[in-house]
Structure 1
Amino acid sequence: MGDSSSCRFKWTIESFTKLSVRKLYSDIFYVGGYKWRILIFPKGNNVDHLSMYLDVADSETLPYGWSRDAQFSLSVINQIHSEGTVEKVRKHVFNASESDWGFASFIPLSELNSSASGFILKDTCIVEAEVY
């Protein structure tokens, strides 16, 4: 992905239903010179929903007092019916104490994992982040 002032990053997660980790980070992508990544909790972050956040990838190495204002969207792609894609938009000022922000209850696990829903196809889930 480029280093422009906005970017849409697509993350294809294979063997999704077999994931045994509590949380999972995407590869790093760049927007406006900043490093970002998607953070998901495939089985939920203490809730019965997929949890998904935008994360400042290099937050631990940034100088004291840093902050970063961003508007972003996170999406779970419906691979059967694109109009069924779930997208949520937020604006947040990221800082050392809030280096990730998003949604603990993004989509119910029962809906996500339903074979008829279209969110997981051939055990692959596709999520996207757009930062602008």
Structure 2
Amino acid sequence: MAMLPADDQDQYTLETRDISPVHLLTKIESFSRLWKHEIQPLESSEFESGDYKWKVTMNLDDSGDISVSLCMVGTSSLPTSWEVNAIFNFFLYNHISDNYLCFRGKARRFHAINPECGFSKLITKKSLTDVSNGFLFKDKCVFGAEVFVIKKQPPLVQTVCVHHVSNPYKHEWKISKFSKLEGIWKSEEFSTGGYKWNIEMYPNGNGRACGRYVSIFLYCVDSESFGCGKKVNASCHFTFKNMLNAIKDHSMEGWGYVEFKAIDEMRDSSKGFVVDDCCTLQIQLSVVALQDEALIK
């Protein structure tokens, strides 16, 4: 299809779409008579979008290029310094492929001095009237338009604060009667970095690890009261203490693990993790608090 030079297409981007335009659909019969009798510009009926009224005009210039414009109507009731920002899309129906060629425009500003914006060189008359392109069928043409008003609203103002807790929290918990624990074991709450935390452990596993691994997770108690957009990052180091050899064993870093430690290994007394049905869980937690509070002003 013989379209316009690329330097004229910076006003829009081209794409095809199956869905018809939502705001305006105009069917033109005896299309050839418009040019023969110089019935132009061709104006659409008024339609409404974004609480404003609009109309579309098509015009053929002397060079054979067709221009399309969107104009606000009924602006006399608006304040003297009115201004509306909107995105204008224009459509041509293709009778052959049964879809629409969409000329997707950029955001435009409409105001009292210039209430009209559009595409100065949309398509040539030759391309539009060439029946092999599909826009004209039995001298009928269908075009449409969409207008999306960009509503003005108070900006979203964000305050971001990042701080690092240089001294990590270190603690260990002695867990008694390990073999008899079921469901979830929860540690007592502790505070560090300005937040409350606890550890949740599934001695018999959770989810896919059920019956195979001990599952363990770090939980931020205060997260239930966090506002929208607030985040807290924490670096957590879990360790099961080897009580036979007085060394640390099987440590991992992160917020939690479904498959932290194999249950069979925990229950093997020769491994030293459970002695006299007791084990010790050690934790080292550093908090980097990223507070992202969104405010409307």
Percent identity, aligned pairs only, is 29
Alignment counterpart, residue 243 of structure 2, candidates 66, 79, 83 = 79
Task: Tell me the residue number matched to 2:277.
Answer: 123
1:31 correspondence with 2:192: yes
1:39–1:53 Cα change, 3 Å: same
Over residues 17-75 of structure 1, what are the superposed CA-to-partner deviations in whole Å (9 max), with x where a residue is unaligned?
A: 1113x111101111111111111000011311111111102222232332101111011
Query: What is the DSSP-based 3-state SS (H/G/I as helix, E as strand, rest coil) of the residue aligned with 1:59?
Result: helix
2:213–2:258 CA contact under 8 A, matched in 1: yes
Alignment counterpart, residue 264 of structure 2, candidates 107, 110, 114 = 110
Q: What code does the residue aligned with 2:263 have?
A: L
2:239–2:248 CA contact under 8 A, matched in 1: no
Query: What is the DSSP-based 3-state SS (H/G/I as helix, E as strand, rest coil) of the residue aligned with 2:269?
Result: coil
* Separation in 2, partners of 1:23, 1:66: 27
* Separation in 2, partners of 1:5, 1:127: 20
The structure number with the bigger radius of gyration is 2
* Separation in 2, partners of 1:65, 1:56: 16
1:5–1:32 CA contact under 8 A, matched in 2: no
Task: Tell me the residue number matched to 1:95.
Answer: none
Q: Which has the higher contact order (CA 8 A, sep 6+)?
A: 1
Query: What is the DSSP-based 3-state SS (H/G/I as helix, E as strand, rest coil) of the residue aligned with 1:107?
Result: strand
2:241–2:247 CA contact under 8 A, matched in 1: no
How many pairs are equivalent?
Answer: 119
1:7–1:131 CA contact under 8 A, matched in 2: yes
Task: Tell me the residue number matched to 2:180.
Answer: 18
* Separation in 2, partners of 1:37, 1:66: 19
Where does the alignment leave 5 or more consecutive residues of structure 2 unmatched? 1-164, 287-297
Q: TM-score, normalised to structure 2's length?
A: 0.38
C-alpha RMSD over aligned residues: 1.8
2:240–2:248 CA contact under 8 A, matched in 1: no
* Separation in 2, partners of 1:12, 1:61: 30
Alignment counterpart, residue 44 of structure 1, candidates 172, 187, 205 = 205
Task: Tell me the residue number matched to 1:98.
Answer: none
* Separation in 2, partners of 1:114, 1:127: 17
Q: What code does the residue aligned with 1:59 have?
A: S
Where does the alignment leave 5 or more consecutive residues of structure 1 unmatched? 91-100
Q: TM-score, normalised to structure 1's length?
A: 0.82
* Separation in 2, partners of 1:58, 1:12: 24
* Separation in 2, partners of 1:79, 1:104: 23
